[in-house]
Amino acid sequence: MPNERKLKAKILEEGLTIAKISSEMGITAYTLGQKILGKSPMTIHEARFLQQKLKISDNDIGTYFFN
């Protein structure tokens, strides 16, 4: 289950929005929000996309995606 607070904080830190990221992912902002909340499953590809977009290091990935 993703760490909602850390992911949302990182999105803001990078100057992005859920709407902007979801558009680039080809999904709705609602769907991405549900994935971040852990209410909808997130694929490995989606997590990797977020990792790259949010500049999350391999060492820190666990703290963002495994709560």
37-55 residue pLDDT tens:
999 999 999 999 999 999 9
Specify whether the CB–CB gap between 54 and 12 falls below 8 A.
no
Q: Check: CB of residue 18 under 8 Å from CB of residue 36.
A: yes
Cβ atoms of 10 and 54 closer than 8 Å: yes
What is the pLDDT of the chain when averaged over all its residues?
Answer: 96
| Residue 2 · residue 65 · CB < 8 Å | yes
Asked if residue 67 has pLDDT above 80, the reply is: no
Q: Rounded to the nearest 5 degrees, what angle is found at the Cα of 38, between the Cα atoms of 32 and 42?
A: 55
